[in-house]
Amino acid sequence: MSLLDGRVAVVTGAGRGIGRAIALCLADEGARVVVNDIGVSLGGEGTDEDPAEQVSQEIVGHGGSAVANRDRVDDFAGAGRIIDTAIDSFGQIDILVNNAGIVRDRTLVKMDEADYDAVVAVHQKGTFNTARHAAPHMKEAGYGRIVNITSSAGLRGNFGQTNYGAAKAAIMGMTFVWALELGRYGITVNGMAPAGATRMTMALPEAADPPPDQDPALNAPLVAFLASEAAADVNGQIFGRTGFGYTVFQTPRQVATMWQEGGWTPAQVADHFHEVLGQHLQPVGMPAHPLLGKLG
């Protein structure tokens, strides 16, 4: 028996790259899959392509069950139709993988409001929209798995990605909140910061011939596990991938305290900061890797 036999999954942004690999893997593990993708460019502009149908037919060609959906996650009603596609086609919704995303990279002083709003709308609001529609069905069934795709750009910071980093950090925060709210109903909510050579990396000169450990399919097995009954005790966690290994992040947490009776003056803070708190300052930015600048 496969991990996901009898389950129904929705994967947003599943027409290409990491999302496509996740959809194929979930189907291989027995899930019936709604493949959502509107077929836009990296910046969110429309195209004539229909990747949702292509991936859906690929799953069916391998003996699985899948349907395509082309609604937008950044539209609340559209996100509802994505979830309705699962209910109408397969009678239930057990798994939601929030993967849809776009990028419009600019430094802060060059980023305009439209760049910011578009990226936050797809990543952050889109994740809320689909989860808001899926959660009541999962609650009624007493079972659900939500996997939110976040990024090291939001967990650690990445140059030129104010909009993307802000949205991905917000997804981490929503993951923690939903894990608390929904866990009592048999619903787990976890996040993953994936890696892989995708459309987001192809513009980089060093990405022309990516190494084997940058195959986007390497992210999918962990997502499939998190989507399964075997991960019932895993809730509110943030995972990642580095090379052929999976990693787990810890939330920002207090690691040192500078204390004195009655509090501090600014001068006293200046006198003692470096010997106490200053010993524990964290590095900023993603790990050095020829491809990681645009991944996840």
Active site residues: 164
| Torsion, CA 130, CA 45, CA 52, CA 78, rounded to 10 | 30
d(CA 99, CA 11): 7
Structure tokens at 99: 């993967």
Return the sign of the alpha-carbon dihedral for residues 188, 13, 215, 22: positive
Strands (E), 126-215: 144-149, 187-193
Q: Which of 20, 238, 244 is nearest to 150 (CA)?
A: 238
Strands (E), 55-203: 66-69, 95-98, 144-149, 187-193
d(CA 77, CA 130): 9
Query: Which residue, chain included where needed, has tokens 């009776």?
Result: 261
CA 35 to chain centre: 16
Residue type, 55: V
Helix axes 162-182, 126-141, angle to 10 degrees: 10
Q: Which of 109, 108, 150, 107 is nearest to 127 (CA)?
A: 150
Structure tokens at 131: 């989860």
